[in-house]
Structure 1
Amino acid sequence: MSWLTPTLRGYHRDWIRYDLLAGVAAGTVVLPQAMAYATIAGLPVQIGLYTCMVPVVVYALLGGSRSASVTTTSTIAVLVATTLAGVDSAPEDLTRDAFTLTCLVGLWLLVMRLFRLGSLVENISPATMTGIKTGVGLTVAAGQLPALLGMREEDTSGFFSAVWSVLRRLSEGDVRTIVISVASIAILLALRRLLPAVPGPLVAVVGGISVIALTDAEQHGVELVPRVPSGLPTLSVPDLGLVGTLMPGALAIAVMAFLETVLVARSNRQRDEPAIDSDQELLAVGCASLAGGLAQSLPPAGGFSQSAVNQRAGARSQVAGLTTAALAVLVALFLGPVLSDLPRAVLAAMVIVAVTGLLSPAEFRTYWAVDRAEFWVAVVTAVLGLTAGLLLAVAVGIGLTFLLVLRHLNRSRVRPLHRRRGGGWTINPPEQPEPSDPHTLLLHLDGGLYTGNARATSDDVLDFVLHTPEVRTVVVEAAAVHGVTMPFLDTVRSLQEDLSRQGVDLMITSLPEPSLKAARAWPWFAEQADAGLVQPTVEDALAAARRRADGDDRPRTGSPFTRDG
């Protein structure tokens, strides 16, 4: 049962007051935000409250992060909305479809855990995440414009159609709603910058409800959120007929929910906390999503803002999460009628302020300066998110990530080896190189070989020989080869045959003992080792090369190696 309550083991009684305060502080931020994110997904605001109950409790029992607050995020809400838009269901069935989707997200996460795919999913590049966050941020912002300006909503899809719909209807804007929106955004930004300890979303919610209670703004066109029913979520039964339709979207949401949760957990981890286990997080978020789907919730994921509040308030364990869940229950039971007086513009303002953290032009500038390939991955992912939809953007972004990984893995693993002043060897060219034997070419093999990089490595060795016409011996230092593969052995044999036809010897040196033992299981390699072409150190290889050269009276004229073409 080591997987159960990992953050509650060794709990100290004096932690309880910190956890209770942190849970309440996080709740004052996360409850209004979760309600706002529910509107992004096109669902009633109470679904946001429900997402702060069962999923939070399940993660608190299974999650490995002490201070992560796992409810839902703007990214997940947008992906839910995008997925549900492709379902041909009646409007009254939307919530059932959403809960089915949440269950499928949980199932995908548990399948990933079953096959231990946590470390694989984590390889998705930061550039892909930047592009997705940009697409999400701009799409969410555009979708909130009608609520901010007091306009009726039109059925639009995508960033550009949403912006165009608002621009051509600017005259329909309501002045009172705009004033509430501007005031809410100003309060949220000011408190975030000047008084970060004050829960800005709670202040905005109280302020918006007070405006409705004390003025006649509602009678003059300020739209309120739909009525929030009092009570707790009931059991929801997934619609198995939608499984095929929702599966692709559920997979994309599962990947993003896992990535966001792990990123939050690792960024909030303290030095004295255990390392975050990606497979444990897959189990925790998967079970939280599956349970949440049965209890009328959005797919859960770790959120940076509420987790930061949790940590600043001194959270010591997931008792803080349990406190947040208890607060959500109290709000759902007793404050539903009060929340029904909340202007939609306040929720829209909270969403706008929350998603501004997703937009980071500086990241694009960094990619441009450091790695243009990563820059274009971020741009393509962002553009697809704004035009073709975020589900396609996630799929393409993940595909491009693995193309970048393959590009890196398929690069040649060989580079020149230089003598270091004072002794030893280095792959960094020294400012004042030591004199070297012109008849010996020293190369370093930077890791093992497999099918993708074997040919590139072999070609590079041959190119080095081609541009070193005096060479008689190629010494390949293989200390970094910690696993022998057949591509490695095939490459060594192919190189030995190509070079020997040109009168050049190939020596392998510094192969780690386990790798050497495995390689000698191949009779051909054992013969080469017995012939002295496999040496324990570079110095031994150089000495062996000199001995072979002294006894070698073969005529050598011109370049010892030529390549066709």
Structure 2
Amino acid sequence: MRDHSFAHHILRLHLPVLDWVHGYQKSWVKPDVIAGVTAAAVVLPKAMAYATVAGLPVQVGLYTAFVPMVIYALFGTSKPLSVSTSATLAILTAAALGQVVPGGGAAQLAMATATLTLLVGSILVLAALLRLGFVANFISEPVLTGFKGGIAIVIVLDQLPKLIGLHVVKGSFFHNVSALVAGLPHASVATVVVGVATIAILVALEHFYPKSPAPLIAVACGIAGTALLGLQRYGVGVVGHIPTGLPSLVMPDLLLIEALWPPAVGIALMSFTETIASGRAFVQSGEPVPLPNRELVATGLGNAAGALLGSMPAGGGTSQTAVNRLVGARSQLAELVTAAVTLGTMLLLAPLIGLMPHATLAAVVIVYSVGLLKPADFRSILAVRRTEFVWALVALAGVVLLGTLKGILIAILVSLVALAYQVSDPPVHVLRRKRGTNVFRPVSAQHPDDEAFPGLLLLRPEGRIFFVNASNIAHKIGPLVQDARPQVVALDMRAVFDLEYTALKMLTEAEKRCRERGIAVWLVGLSPEVFAVVKKAPLGKTLGHERMFLNLEQALAAWHGMQKKQDGLRGIVQ
């Protein structure tokens, strides 16, 4: 029985679908179905549009929203994450394919796409085997807050032209804003009416009937309006013709691997970055955080399987995940529903989905994306730490001005630089004892009565001491010793969890200089790891057990003993 239980645990660990199916609740079925169908209304048109951006037939977008979505639902660890393709992946794909098959025929393009997508999947799986998912740990909560806020702005700006019937050539953020403002006089009145009506339906239903499937009703109204009123005659754009049929097997061209692997690395990095950022951004309270290495496996297998069925590179999509979550997705069943709708579209529903106005889709995306920008979250961060607030703003500005990948990478870089600065400049506290207790605390104007011990300088460095910060710590301690002119400098090392070789060597040299000046150096509260390092080094032999103490109370007792001995010697001399 125990072996069976262990085997079942291992199987659930490697096949997450067993885990979420095991804990599935019947009450989740309705919100999952609604979310999956609604997300499909966002995924399908965007996936087809991104396929054309990549220079591929529109049906490739449907294949990308089907195969990777199913594979991710089986192997992924994020409950709401919706997987297909994105604008950035499409642009990178277009650049990669343009290098190897410029002006190629449909067959050549299909093989090149399969090769590229298979490479992306293989790189992601390899990264998982190498346990490189830790990269996701560098995305902090403030960075995620800024990321979501920036994504909200980008999504809304991206959808506004569709909402008012304009065609804007995409460029930088300021270019897009300028083009939108310049095009306002040429907006389609009928398209604006459809968009505003859809927003009104969504807002009214969410306010008065919050449990109703508002997005589905809005989408249905848009399709019905096109079918019954002939909205296209008034200049309202619709999704249009969608080819039907199942994908066929496509084999990669191994001769293209050498040319395609460099861009495949970049696409794989983008896929993982967007996937893990989107997955973590929409985690609800009480839900497990997506596991980075499992996400690498899931997206890698999704791309590898999709490659053989005509898919382009895929990853977690932010806008569709936002819709999926905000509409009410509770589990990966929502992704399977989206995949089922995609399959139905390929086989049966293509003519019906093709009647959906672009303005209706834009309205749904805008309404469910605006909530990602939460000023209250920014205020909360600012109230606690200004540095993290700056990280959030940098992430927001980076996403808005430079795009998702560059924006999040810049935010991570700023986070790492700020963290490196903090690590390189750790505090060194001068300690005093609270009178009548054994509590030692940093010198503070709030505690002027704390007890000092003339001739004994108590110092407490904090954090890891290594080559990056050892010199700064030495520069901080030097003036303190110079001002205090002590007989003994006791370093309380309880807050030091690691002492690197370079730092140990500098400490050894500092102890020697102090000894030559008649100042003794004591070490207090060494952790077992740090004590083992010191004991192996010459410093351990120099100090011996006489100058290393378990705690400050022992060190202070030794100090008092030394004072009494000195007083006794002075008495004998006199």
Q: What letter corresponds to residue 510 of structure 1 in structure 2?
A: G
1:557 matched to which residue of 2?
Answer: none
1:21 matched to which residue of 2?
Answer: 30
2:69 matched to which residue of 1?
Answer: 56
1:207 matched to which residue of 2?
Answer: 221
Report the TM-score when normalising by structure 2.
Answer: 0.81
1:454–1:491 Cα contact (<8 Å) kept: yes
- Pairs within 5 Å for 1:310-325: 310=328, 315=331, 318-319=332-333, 321-325=335-339
2:14 matched to which residue of 1?
Answer: 4
Distance 1:493 1:393, change over 3 A: same
- State the Cα distance separating 1:546 from its structure 2 match: 3.1
Q: 1:217 aligns with which of 212, 221, 231?
A: 231
Q: What letter corresponds to residue 506 of structure 2 in structure 1?
A: T
Q: What letter corresponds to residue 247 of structure 1 in structure 2?
A: V
1:508 matched to which residue of 2?
Answer: 523
Structure 1 range deviating more: 441-450 or 419-428: 419-428
- State the Cα distance separating 1:403 from its structure 2 match: 0.9
2:172 and 2:351 map into 1 onto residues whose CA distance is: 34
- State the Cα distance separating 1:206 from its structure 2 match: 0.6
Deviations 1:144-203 (A, max 9, x none): 33322122x243312221222232232322111110011112223343454443333322
Q: Secondary structure at the match of 1:475?
A: strand
Q: What letter corresponds to residue 227 of structure 1 in structure 2?
A: H
2:396 and 2:190 map into 1 onto residues whose CA distance is: 34
Matched, 1:479 2:489: no
Matched, 1:69 2:80: yes
Deviations 1:305-360 (A, max 9, x none): 42354556xx5xx4554454334423432211111111111122223223323334
Identical counterparts, % of pairs = 29
Q: 2:266 aligns with which of 238, 244, 248?
A: 248
Name segments (4+ residues, structure 1) moved above 6 Å: 91-101
Q: 2:192 aligns with which of 158, 171, 178?
A: 178
Over the aligned positions, Cα root-mean-square deviation in angstroms equals 3.5
1:267 matched to which residue of 2?
Answer: 284
2:426–2:463 Cα contact (<8 Å) kept: no
2:475 matched to which residue of 1?
Answer: 459
Matched, 1:278 2:292: yes
- State the Cα distance separating 1:545 from its structure 2 match: 2.5
- State the Cα distance separating 1:509 from its structure 2 match: 1.0
Q: Secondary structure at the match of 1:399?
A: helix
Q: What letter corresponds to residue 152 of structure 2 in structure 1?
A: G
- Pairs within 5 Å for 1:80-229: 80-84=89-93, 86=95, 88=98, 103=118, 105-151=120-166, 153-229=167-243
- State the Cα distance separating 1:225 from its structure 2 match: 0.8
- State the Cα distance separating 1:121 from its structure 2 match: 2.3
1:417–1:442 Cα contact (<8 Å) kept: yes
2:87 and 2:491 map into 1 onto residues whose CA distance is: 53
1:559 matched to which residue of 2?
Answer: none
1:492 matched to which residue of 2?
Answer: 507
2:466 and 2:314 map into 1 onto residues whose CA distance is: 39
Deviations 1:340-384 (A, max 9, x none): 111111122223223323334444545555444444444444445
Q: Secondary structure at the match of 1:447?
A: coil
2:556 matched to which residue of 1?
Answer: 542
Distance 1:138 1:343, change over 3 A: same
Residue-pair matches, total: 537
Q: Secondary structure at the match of 1:506?
A: strand
Q: Note the residue ranges of structure 1 that are not aligned, 5 or more in a row.
A: 554-565
2:148–2:281 Cα contact (<8 Å) kept: no
Q: Secondary structure at the match of 1:443?
A: strand
Q: Note the residue ranges of structure 2 that are not aligned, 5 or more in a row.
A: 1-9, 568-574
Matched, 1:519 2:534: yes
- Pairs within 5 Å for 1:291-306: 291-295=305-309, 296=311, 299-301=314-316, 303-306=321-324
1:561 matched to which residue of 2?
Answer: none
Structure 1 range deviating more: 219-228 or 18-27: 18-27
Q: What letter corresponds to residue 47 of structure 2 in structure 1?
A: A
Structure 1 range deviating more: 208-217 or 33-42: 33-42
1:401 matched to which residue of 2?
Answer: 415
Q: What letter corresponds to residue 165 of structure 2 in structure 1?
A: G
- Pairs within 5 Å for 1:315-394: 315=331, 318-319=332-333, 321-394=335-408
Deviations 1:375-425 (A, max 9, x none): 444444444544454443333333222212211221225323343466333
Report the TM-score when normalising by structure 1.
Answer: 0.83
- State the Cα distance separating 1:204 from its structure 2 match: 2.0
- State the Cα distance separating 1:279 from its structure 2 match: 2.4
